Structure 1
Amino acid sequence: MNILNVKNLLIISIGILLTIFLCLFVKNSENEKVNSLITDIDSLIDKKNSQQVNLRYKLFFNYLKQQETDYSIKDNHIYISDNLYIDDDEAKFILPDNLSIEGDLYLNNNYIRQLPNNLSVEGDLILYKTKINQLPEDLHAGSISLPVEQINNIAYRQEVGIDDITLFAVFIDNEIKISVPAWRFLGDLNSFDAKIDEEYSQTTEDEYQSEIEKYKQAAKECVNDLIEMRKNQANLLIVQEQYKDFFKFLDYEKIEYSFKNNNIIIDGWFKIKDSSIQLPDNLSIKGNLNCDGIKVTQLPQLPYNLSVDGEFEILSCGILTELPNRLFVNYLNLGDSFITQLPDDLYVNYLFLRDSFISQLPNNLSVGQHLDLRGTPITQLPDNLKVGKSLILDVRRIRNIAYREYIGEDQITLFSVFVNGEIQISVPSWEFLGNLKSFERKIDVNYQGVTAQQYKQAAKECTDELIEMRKNNVVNNNQITTSDVENPKAKNTIKEAITLSSTPAESRQEDQEFFNKLHKYPLLDTDRFIYIHYSDSDVWIDFRGTPITKIPNRLFIKGSMDISETMLTRLPNKLYVKGLLDISDTVISELPDGIYVNRLNASNTRITKLPDNFYVYDDLYFNNTPITELPSNLLLKGDMDLSDTPITKLPDNLSVGRNLKLNNTNITTLPENLSVGKGLDLDVQKITNIVYREHVGEDDIKLFSVFNNGEIQISVPSWKFLGNLKSFESKIDKKFSEVVAKQYKQVAQDCIDELAKRRNTNRSI
C-alpha cells in the first residue's frame, strides 16, 4: 500500500468519527429540548390543576395561608408536610379530597361534617369536636382518636381491662384494624394481640392474665361486630335497589330510618300514602302503622317479618285479606276486618279477634298481654298457646276448658285453661290469668270467709275437671275450619297490587246479574274470595224481590245482605256476611257447609236442619220452617225463634244470649243444661218440666218456673223477663203497689216450690 492510500484512509476515518460526534451532539440537544418541553407541559398542567383546586377549595387554602402552613399540589393531590390543626369554629370550609398530611390532623370544628375522600394522615388523626359521624372507606392514618359514640361505622368497647381503655374496630387501608387511642395504636387483630402479649410478657399473676384475655376478647368482639355491620351495609344497598320506590318515599317524606341485622327500622309512626309502594320484608316500625285512607285504596300486600311496636290500623289500608308469616304487632284489632285466618308464629301484645271470622288459632300464637276471642267461631284452643295477662272468650263455646259462672259476690265467670304450658285459671273481669296457687294468693289478699272459699272451690273444681278431661283424652278436637282459606307458607300473601274496582271481573259472566246490582259498591275479586266493602256498616245490599237466581261462591260481605222474596234456590259455598243475612220467604231448602254470618233470618224457608260447618253469632230466626233438629252446643249471643216449626227437642248445651221463642212446636221437655239470658216464650201446656200459672194479676200475665242457667228461674214472656226469684221480686216491687206485688210474688213462689218438689221427686225415683 502506498503512502497516498494510507493518507486517504486516515482522512476518511477522521471524517466518519466527526460525523458520528456531530450526530451525537445534535441528538443530545434535541433530547434536552424535548425534556424541557415535557417539563414545561407538566408545569402548566400542575399549574392549571393547582388553579382549579385552589378555586374549588379557596376558603381552605386561605385558612392554610393564615396559619402559615406550607402546601403543594401535584397530580390533583394536596400535600402538607407538617401538622394541621383546625380548632377555630369560625373556620367554615370543607376539607378537600386527595389530602395528604405527613404529620397529625387535629379537628376541633363544628362546621366540618365529613372527612374527605382519599385522606392520608401519616401521624395521628384526632377528631375532637366535629359533626362527623362516618369515616370514609379509603382513609389512611397512623392512629385514630375520636368520640366513639358519634361514629356509626365503627364498633367499640369502653372501659376495657385494668387500664379502662377505649378500643374500636375500624375499616382502614382496605382492612379491619383495631385502634387504641390512649396507646396511639392502630393495627390488625394479630398485631394487637402481639402488643398485648408483649406489654404483659413479664407478668405471671393470674389477675393480669385475665386482663389480657379481656383486651383480646373485646378486640375480637369489635372486629366481629364491624364485620356484621359491613354485611348489613352491603345488604342495605341490595334492599335499596330492590325497593327503590319505598326508599324514595322515605327520602321525600324525610322519614329517618336505620338498618340493623337485615331489618329496616323506622323510629316512629309510619303512614303509607301511596298504594303502589311495596313495603320491604323485615320492616320494623317503632310506632303505629296506618294508611292514608284518602289516597290509599288498597295496599298491595304486607311484607314478610313485619314488626309494629304500636297499633296496626288494618282497616285504614283497604281490604287486606291475609296477614304475612312472621308478624309482630303490639296492638292488632281484626274484629271488623276481612281476615279469616292467622299465620303461625304470630306475636301480638294486644290481640282483639272479637266478632271476627277467625275460626281457629294458629300454632305458636303468643300474646303478650290481652287476647279477646269473644264472638268468633273458635271452638278449641291450641296446646302451645301463650298469653301473658288476660284471656277472654265465650266459655260455652270453647270445648277444651272447664268453667263456672256467677261465682261469689262479684258473680264472676271463671275457667281453667291449658295455656303457657300449664293449667291456669282465667277471670276475664279481673284481667287475671295464672296458675291455681297464684289465684288463691289473689283471693287471700282481696277476700275472706265464705266468699273466698267459694272462689277457691270453683277454681279447684275447674282445675280438677280439666285435668281429668286431658287425662282421659275426651277433648273434642273437631273444629270449624276454612280449608280453602288456609294461609300459605309464603312471603307473597296477597295477590299483588289489586285495586278496588267498580266493575267485576269479566271472567264471571255467569254471575253478571248479581254484579250488575253492585255498581255502587267497591269490589275486590281475587282467586280466593270476592270482597264487597263499604264504609257505612248500616247500608244493606238489597236484592229483596228481584229476579236474581244465583249468588257467586266465595263471597265476603262487610255488612248485611237481603235476598228475601227472591227466586234463589241455594246459597253459595263459603259465604261470609258480617251483618244480617236475610233469606226469608225463599225456596232455599238447605244451607251449605262453610257459611259464616253474624245474624241469619231463615223464616218461611224450606230448611230442615243446619250443616256441620255452620256459624252464626248473634240472631237465628227459623220460625215457620220445616226444621226438625239443631246441632249440639249451639251458642248464640242474641235471639232464636223456632216458633211454628215441627222441631221435637232442643239440643244439649243450647245457649241463647237474649230471647228464645218456642211457640207452636212439638217440644215437650226442655234440656237440663239449657241457658237463656233474657226471655223464654213457649206453649206452657205442652212443656212437662215447667210449672205455670195463667191470667195472673192485673196485667193478666202468663208466668212459669223453669230450670235455666243451672237454677230454677221465673219467666214472664210478655215482660220479656227471665231471672231468679230474687230478681223477679225486685222487678215487682218497682212496678206495682205492695198489695198487687204480693200476689205476683206468691204465684212465683208457688211455681218455684212446685217445680223444686217435682225435680226432687224425679231424682228419688
Structure 2
Amino acid sequence: MKKFIEILNQKNIKYTVENDIIRVLDNLCFYQNPLKSLPDNLIIKGNLDISETKIRNLPDNLIVYGDLNLSGTEISILPDNLVVHGQLNASYTKIITLPEKLIIGGGLDLSFSYIQSLPDNLMIDGNLYLQNTYIVKLPENLTVAGDLDVSSTRITRLPERFSIKGSLNLGSCAINTLPANLHITGDLNVNSTHITKLPENLRVDGSLNLSYLKIRKLPKDIQVKDNLKLWYSEIKKLPNNLKVNGDLDLAKTKIKKLPKNLKVKGCLILKSTKINKLLKNFKGTCSSLDLSNNKIKKIPENLKIKSNLYLNNCEIKKLPDNMRINGNLSLSEATIKKLPENLRVGGQLSVDYTLIKKLPKSLSVRGELDVWGTKIKKIPNHFNVVNGLNLTRTKVKKLPENFTQIKNLFMNVTKISHLPDTLYVQDCLELSYSRIKKLPKNLQVGKKLLLNDTKIKKLPENLKLEEGIDLRKTQIRYLPESLELKWLSLDLKKIKNIAYRKNCTSKRKTIFAAYLNGEYKIFQNKSLIGNLKEYERFVNQRFLDPQAGKLKQAARDCVEELQKKIRIN
C-alpha cells in the first residue's frame, strides 16, 4: 500500500484512506507501467487502466466506477467480488473463465483472450467482443444490449434463446446455420462462414454481409434496411422487386442479370462483373454506380445516375456529351483520353493516371479536382477549384490566375515554382518535393503544411495551424515566434532556435523546447504538450519515477539551454 500511495502522491491524484480502504477520486492510468500489483480494498471513482503492465492478479474487493482496462496483461483469473460499473476490457489476456457473480455495468471485451466459456444467463449492458477466442458455445439466455462479435471463433450455432440489441458479427466462425425468423436490429455479418442457406423471414435492420458464402439464392422475403454485400459469393440470381436502402455490392459475383424493378438507394457496385450484359435494358434505379475494373467501353444511354459514378480502371474511351454527375466522378486509371466539353460534376472529379492531356474550357467541378500523374500541363484560368486541387506528379507549371482560396492543395513533385501572394488554404497545403523556394508573406493554412524535401528557407509570420508542419529536409533554420500549431516535424540539428534531448529514458522519447508566442513550449517527439508546467503535469499523469523525473529534467534542461541561446542572439 505504501508504494501505491507514493505513486498517487507523485501523480497528484486525490485519494482518501479509511479503514485500510483506498478511495481514488479520479481516473487512474498505469498503461505500460512497471507496477506489478495493486493493493486490496481499492475503490476507483473513475477509470482504471492497467493495460500492458506486469500486473498478474487483481486485488480482492476491487470496485471501479468507470471503465477497467486489463488489455495485454498476464491476468488469468478475475476475483469473484470484482465490480465494474463501466466497461471491462480484458482483451489479449489469459483469462479462461468469468466469475459467476461478476458485475459489469457496461460492455465486455474478451477478444484475443484465452476465454473458453461464459456463464449461463450472462447479461451485458453494452457490447460483447469475443472474436479470435476459444469460445465454442454461447450460453443460453445470453443478453447483449449492444453488439455481439464472435468472428473467427469455433462457434457452430447460436443459442435457442438469446437477445442482441445491436449488430451480430459471425464472420469466419464455424457456424453453418442460422435460426428461423432471425431478426437483427443492427448489422449481420456472416462472411466466410459455412452457411449455405439463409432462413426464411430473415430481417436485418442494418447491413447484411454475405461475401465469400456458398449461398446461391436469396430468400424472396428477405428484408435488409441498409447495405447488402454479396462480394465473391456464389449467388447467381437476385429476387425481383429487390429493394436495398443502402449499397448493393455485387462485385466478383456470378450474377448475369439484374432483377426487375431493382431499387438501390445507395451505390450499385458492379466491380469485375459482366457489366455489359448486366446493364442491358436495365430499368431499375440506383443513386450511385460503381463499374470499376470492367471492360465496359460505353455508358448506356438509358442509365441515370443521381449521385456518384465510378469508372476506375475501365476501358471506357468516351463519356456522353453534356454528361452531368451530381456527386463524384472517378475515372482513375481508365483508358479515356478526352472529357466532354460540357461535363458537369457536382462532387469530386478524379482523372488521375489517365491519358487525358487537356481539361475542357467549359468543365465545371464543384468538389476536388484530382489530376495526379496525368500529362495535363495547364489548369484553365476560369476554372473554379475552391474545394481542392491535386496536381501531384503533373507537368503543370503555373496555378490559375486569381487563385487565392482553396480547401486542399497538393503540389508535391510538380514544376510550379511560385505561389500567389495572398493564398489561403483551408485544410492542407502539400509542397513536398516541389520547386517552391519561397512562401508568400500572407500565406494562411488552416490545418497542415507539408514542406518536407523542398528548398524553402523561411516560414511566414503569424502562421496558425490546427494541426502541424513538416519541415524535414528543408533549408529552414529558424521558427517564427508567432507560430501556432499542435505538432512539428523537423530536423533537430538544423533548427537553431530550439533545444533538444534525444533518447530520454528507456522509452527513447525526444524532447525539444521552442520559444513560441511568449512562452517556452515543450514538444515530446513531435507533439506539442504545452509550457513547462503543463509538460510536468502531463508527465506526472503518465509516467512514474525514475522515468518521470528524467523526462521533466530533460525538459528543464532544454528550456535552460534555449534561454541561453536567445540571450546570446
TM tier relative to shorter chain: 0.3 to 0.5
Larger Rg: 1
Q: Which has the higher helix share?
A: 1
Q: Which TM-score applies when normalising by structure 1?
A: 0.29
TM-score, normalised with respect to structure 2: 0.39
